[in-house]
Structure 1
Amino acid sequence: MLNKAKAHIKMAGRNRPVQHKNLSTIFSKLQGAFSDVVTHPKYATDKRTLDKTWKLMDKVVKLCQHQKMNLKNSPPFILDILPDTYQRLRLIYSKYEDNMAALHSIEHFNIFIINLMRKCKQAIKLFKEGKEKMFDENS
């Protein structure tokens, strides 16, 4: 009986490193999964991204300028904000045109561009989904 107990302890002793290894593997996989979710999006502040941002902004302005839209000029007025932002982005680009790597290294600017693109896409999506409801003042 004592030999069986010793054998069981030895087996349990051998299994512990295996269990520990399995737990380590599981935790490392979990850590990898969480770090993928938590990490910031890849920043790509280059000429192509800025061109895309400007096109999205132009599209939102054109959609807002539709005659039926009848936007009220009350702060914050999107038809004032977007053209001003567009001009500021052009000015920033002109200063960094020869050194886009420096502009790319400015994290706040990257986040601003990502958020601006996301908001423009959301606005365009609202126009597409809302269709005629966008022109109804009571909607």
Structure 2
Amino acid sequence: MSDSHTAHHTRNTGGVRVVGLLSILAGIVLIIAGAATWYVVTDQLKAQDITVAEDAEWFGGKQVNGPLDAYSEAQVIEKHALEATGGKTYAQLEQDDPVREVAMNASFLRASLFTSVVAYGVAAFAMGMGVLWLLLGWSLRKLA
């Protein structure tokens, strides 16, 4: 009876070990994908050679190459656009208003910068999930 119990126990732990290994592999893939995304976004931002405006609340004069300075530059672009349009957004300006183009360009620039901020967030999330999957897989294999 103990032999069949041992065989049954081994079969069950084998499945747990496989799931643990798959979790570890998924964790590695997520970490690599997140890190690659972070690198690509940083590289693309650096290539644009954007400098945070001096009058920004944070990071004035710093090259945009990360999520915080990209966010800071997006905020200062909004400030400058609202100054140029008398506090009106693109949608609030009359269609024939010549400053509407300023508001439109500011909106496009802000959207592009916010896209990079979101990409950084997704990359960080992927790396964090990768660490969790690694820990889960390691734990499953230890328990098995």
Structures share fold, TM-score greater than 0.5: no
TM class by shorter chain equals 0.3 to 0.5
Higher radius of gyration, 1 or 2: 1
TM-score between the two structures when normalised by the length of structure 1:
0.34
TM-score (norm 2): 0.33
Higher relative contact order (CA 8 A, sep 6+): 2
